[in-house]
Amino acid sequence: MKFQNCFILFFWFTLTTYAQHPFNDTELPMEERIDNLISLLTLEEKASQLLYNAPAVDRLGIPSYNWWNEALHGVGRSGRATIFPQAIGMAATFDAPLLEKVAATIADEARAKFNAAQAQGNRNQYTGLTFWTPNVNIFRDPRWGRGQETYGEDPYLTSQLGRAFVQGLQGDDPNYLKTAACAKHYAVHSGPEKLRHEFDAVVSQKDLYETYLPAFKALVEAGVESVMCAHNRTNGEPCCAHPKLLQDILIEDWQFKGHILSDCWALVDFYSENGHGTVNTAEEGAALALKSGVSLNCGSTYQVLAEAVRQGLVEEAVLDKNLATLLRTRFKLGLMDPPEKVPFSSIPTTKIDADDHRALSLDVATKSMVLLRNNGVLPLKKDLNRYYVVGPNAASVDALLGNYFGVNPTIVTFLEGITKKVTMGSQVQYSPGTTLDRANVNPFDWSSGGAAEADVTIAVLGLTRHIEGEEGESISSPYYGDRLDYDLPKNQLDYLKKLASHDKPLVVIVTGGCPMNLSEVHELADAVLLAWYPGQEGGNAAASLLFGDTSPSGRLPITFPKSLDQLPPYEDYSMKGRTYRYMEKEPMYPFGFGLGYSQFTYDTISLEDERIKANQETTLSCRVTNTGTVAADEVVQFYVTDRESEFQKPLFSLRGTQRIHLEPGASQTVSFVVTPEDLALVNTKGIAKVEKGQFTLYVGGNLPTSRSMDLGGSKAASIGLEVK
């Protein structure tokens, strides 16, 4: 209570210093308050408030505010916080309600941290309430190192998960946002990372509206407070000054009412020597972005915005309009109101890394991990004589984090999680065996020989953020964070071959945020568990799955090709040959795939109406039965195929998911409402319409392909639907 009172006194003193101004009057309509505040500011003061590190206006009692904050999978870069699995791992749960719960938890911690920082007088970067997440770009190519930040390759799944995350972050209070979310990077952006400051992503209208835009539209419909425009160009125009993307689609068609911000220093690319070459000066770049609707500049270009106005490059009225949009967000967050008016001002610091938050992180991590192979070695017994845990990521904290992470004092590595699970009469031995991505300099290799003496060897291999991620973060990457070689590091594979040569049980845990060439791993290991970057509870989650406390239930939100030879060139943004929707070549692991310790059958599939009109809905139902011997979660997936399209169509389109839990022998009927939107196809002009003809609807536990079944997946049930 003492902390809360100090915070209220500190914050309220600042805002009441000039309480005679109408913008301080909480009884007035918000728009009146905004107009009054703008009228009191000088040109320089107004321009300064459009920078991400907006300075204080002391004469009006307005404190400084830094807009740049991160919360991709927990409050990031701001000290202690609960660390959830990286976004691609959360996507593998296929569970939108779960992600909304995660985001709401993150928002609670964000408010608690904000309250504490305010009381301390800390207004540094990463202490605010405007979070630049989620990333809803389409993970179209496994070479993109930042694909780990996304929800995968499918526009439907990305839309559902992104919408849930926004709703959780922003809350449902009728008067205030809990935090402000951001949809990024608008709109056609997924590498190459090294070229993002100059690259032109060329796309057809079909691909634009069918693949690259749906998630952004879904988030706008969900009320996302901001949209971040990308560094690159799309079809010749910089994304942060794109008439069609920003004005025609985002503002006019979708009626977006929030604020648009630039990716960091993206406006510099307008006029830098190695950028887009759109304009010649910073003043021209600032004016162009402002007129395009970019209200907030992450960067330095808007430092010359007042001068651009004085030069006649942009009218001050345009500046005022953009500033009003920004101020609206600050008012909606309660930043201009006394704390007692804002319901979130009382959230205490005891919420940060609370026990229930840690339990949620464990639950998400457990549901995110994907079992790719199991010849029967899993689940392991907890009382074997000797467990040998090896590999460069076995005791690595970095292997749990991914990028854009927070920190936590009780992170559980894979080695620690496994050690806690086994009985006291058992041995756990550990050796890294090899480094992350370099061959051993010392020629002596004692560690691989230890596998011959163990009852089971658990090798934790894969990637970390040092190899894949954003250009400035991936300090060991020769490709600015991208993964142009696709394979696991050669030294890791060489080490795995030595371990496998002893012909003893071998389990491999793989960390990483992108598809990798796991063909050799699949052949050498008895079981393969993909752990992603699982967050602070990653070690406990993996151990729970390895020892059978929980049945694995994660599903791949992205296709794992057998090699990069199966894909078009990285720079090609056409969807032809990409993702499960258009890739005709057989992958290593298909989208939606994942094994467990039980088996499920799908039967008794039916439609409420097997013939409908193009504007009608119908209901699809199917019975799911756990025919195995253990209780388990099943991720039920609903796909549509148009059998008679007049133009290029997806092979399959995911249109629904449900996560259910069934005891052995139990059955449950799941239902999906089939809407016209589910059946619509996008034509070459970018227009979605429902064609007459025959459709096939599938319900199953994975993508309905022969490759899924060859790997041990279930057979989907299917039924025909006619649109007349």
Residues with a known catalytic role: 263, 468
> Residue 270: helix, strand or coil by DSSP?
helix
Q: Which helix (H) or strand (E) holds 415?
A: helix 414-421
DSSP state of 476: T
Decide if 688 contacts 699 (C-beta within 8 A). Answer: no
Secondary structure class of 337 (helix, strand, coil): coil
Mapped onto helix, strand or coil, the DSSP state of residue 696 is strand
CB contact set of 325 (below 8 Å; sequence gap of 6+): 258, 259, 295
N-terminal to C-terminal alpha carbon distance within the chain: 66
User: What distance in Å separates the CA atoms of residue 209 and residue 632, rounded to the nearest whole number?
Assistant: 37
Q: Using CB atoms within 10 A of its CB, is residue 565 exposed (0-12), middle (13-18) or buried (19+)?
A: exposed
Calpha distance 214→688 (Å, rounded):
11
> Would strands 233-234 and 237-238 be described as parallel, antiparallel, or unpaired?
antiparallel
User: What is the bridge-based pairing of β-strands 370-374 and 527-532?
Assistant: antiparallel
Contact 448, 499 (CB under 8 A): yes
* Residue environment code for 528-541, b if the CB has 16+ CB neighbours within 10 A, otherwise e: bbbbbbbbbbbbbb
Bridge partner list, 635? 659
Query: What is the residue whose two structure tokens read 């630049």?
Result: 132
Q: Return the CA Rg of the chain.
A: 26
> Cα(241)–Cα(230) distance, rounded to whole angstroms?
10
Q: Helices in 73-171 by DSSP H: which ranges?
A: 87-91, 96-120, 155-170
Whether the Cβ atoms of residue 366 and residue 545 lie closer than 8 Å to each other: yes
Distance CA 281, CA 343 (A): 45
Helices in 423-487 by DSSP H: which ranges? none
Distance (Å, rounded) from C-alpha 612 to C-alpha 533? 44
Q: How many CB atoms lie within 10 A of CB 188?
A: 26
Question: What DSSP assignment string belongs to 502-551?
Answer: T-S-EEEEEE-SS--B-HHHHHH-SEEEEEES--TTHHHHHHHHHTTSS-
